[in-house]
Structure 1
Amino acid sequence: MKQVMKDDKMAEGKVAFERSCCPITHALDIFGDKWTLLIVRDLILGKSRYLELISSAEKIASNILADRLKKLEATGLITRRAYQQKPVRYEYSLTEKGESLRPVLAAIISWSQQHHPGTQIFPAVEPR
């Protein structure tokens, strides 16, 4: 593993440790867990607030959601803005970089429908 930073944190949109120069490996360093692409899916489908994201059918734990949102923000895929003070609450939205994942999700959906009949389509995820 190539060390990018001394500790296991992210900086400037880079994962702390990169395993190789392979583009698939790099993508897996960002999306290689079972939650990240589901969060991106929900943002594409119009969810923007923490309570909306945590209420998804997959039942993500709040600590995992908070961690993945920080990771997505650190990698430049989402931004957050406060919509309420006391307590501070945030809305999340995809950046241009995050929005560019739309055709990737559309391809995954298409593959799933082809090989797993009965899966649901999300028209809002179709390529623009």
Structure 2
Amino acid sequence: MELTEYHLVEKSICPVARTAQILGGKWTILIIRDLAAGVKRFNQLERSLQGISPKTLSERLRSLEEEGIVIRQTFAEAPPRVEYLLTEKGCDLVSVIDSMRAYGKQWLCNK
């Protein structure tokens, strides 16, 4: 039986590999960046992340929810309202994103 790359990382004790597995999906870091500013609705995230498809956004949010990084709150209103926010685990990733921002400013951007 052959182990897939996913299973190798899942079974790995390497915290860097496991974190990279969670954050490695396209758009994932940008979703967390946007949620770091506070609670957002799906359409707010979609507008902010120009170019993301609704399907991809939905998949990434669901994945982050399964990882315990995002909470999805549904309100029984007409029309239904759904909001997303970071959990404590998700908020702890903000420092990683802040480090990426600082690195990008210093080494990659002309600003």
TM range (shorter): 0.7 to 0.9
Alignment partners' CA distance in 2, 1:66 and 1:27: 20
Cα drift, residue 46 of structure 1 = 2.9
Structure 1: stretches of 5+ with no match in the other structure: 3-15, 120-128
Contact 2:68-2:90 at 8 Å conserved across structures: yes
Alignment partners' CA distance in 1, 2:81 and 2:8: 32
- Which residue among 24, 35, 44 is the counterpart of 2:27? 35
1:76-124 Cα deviation digits (max 9, x unpaired): 00111113434433100000110011111110000000112335xxxxx
1:53-90 Cα deviation digits (max 9, x unpaired): 00014321100000010001110001111134344331
Structure 2: stretches of 5+ with no match in the other structure: none
Q: Percent identity?
A: 35
Cα drift, residue 39 of structure 1 = 0.3
TM-score, scaled relative to structure 1: 0.73
Cα drift, residue 23 of structure 1 = 1.7
Alignment partners' CA distance in 2, 1:93 and 1:106: 18
Contact 2:30-2:49 at 8 Å conserved across structures: no
The alignment yields a C-alpha RMSD, in angstroms, of: 2.2
Q: Secondary structure at the match of 2:40?
A: coil
TM-score, scaled relative to structure 2: 0.83
Match status 1:53 vs 2:45: yes
Contact 1:39-1:53 at 8 Å conserved across structures: yes
Match status 1:77 vs 2:40: no
Q: Which runs of 4+ in 1 moved over 4 A?
A: none
Amino acid at match of 1:68: R
